[in-house]
Amino acid sequence: MASDSRQHIVEILKRRNQASVTELSQALGLTAVTIRHHLDSLMADEIVSQPVPRRRPGPGRPEMVYGLTPRADGLTPRNFGELCSCLLQAAGESADGQQALLEQAGRAMASRSTRPGGHSSLASVVEFLEDRGYFPSVEEGEDGPAIVLANCPYLEVARAMPQVCQFDVALLQAMLGGTVVVQSAIARWEPNCRFTLQPERAI
């Protein structure tokens, strides 16, 4: 959604639940024609629902009001990073306790993709990571293959608590069945996350 005005329309509708063209025009200081143009675009993207009548107080014809569809949920603010950070802190003050929790979480995530007692191929691991927003790739090096992640889906948490990277290590080890070594990490302000697999266990 390219327009700041459209984002503001979404925020107003989220706060008010419903609003008319007149109300949106007054709130944003834009003409009714401009508001209708933005609403048409938002409806085409299935972010804003078709207008419905709302009766005015007193006599007169009902006015048409607009609301949001469930698709708009992804356009409003989220604060997963702070939530995850608070959960980790609450889980245990000791670094060992947090690491154990992260390793358990990583193995649990891996179990959604691998068969019990089985392991995944590099190709299926890359597909699994792609679906979760890691932007992964595989590079061949002197020591064997490396998984490179161009994006950290929980960057804010990882920057505040770098031990979160242990989740990815446990995830990859559970999926591949080998030993994974962190060579670089976006959480350490490096350009990507790079994980190497020990040659004797690499797939």
- The residues spanned by each domain of the chain are 4-75, 94-197
Q: How many Å apart are CA 22 and CA 4, to the nearest integer?
A: 19
Q: For the chain, what is the mean pLDDT?
A: 87
Tens-place pLDDT, residues 153-203: 988 888 888 888 999 999 999 998 888 999 999 999 999 999 998 754 444
| DSSP H helices in the chain | 4-16, 21-28, 32-44, 80-91, 95-110, 122-131, 155-160, 165-176
Rounded to 10 degrees, what is the CA torsion of 14, 20, 24, 29?
A: -170
Pick the CATH number of 4-75 from 3.90.1150.10, 3.40.50.11540, 3.30.2390.10, 1.10.10.10: 1.10.10.10
Three-state secondary-structure class, residue 1: coil
First-residue to last-residue Cα distance in the chain: 41
Tens-place pLDDT, residues 88-135: 777 766 667 788 888 888 988 888 876 555 678 889 999 999 999 999
- Please give the distance of CA 12 from its chain centroid, rounded to a whole number: 23
Q: How many Å apart are CA 49 and CA 177, to the nearest integer?
A: 48
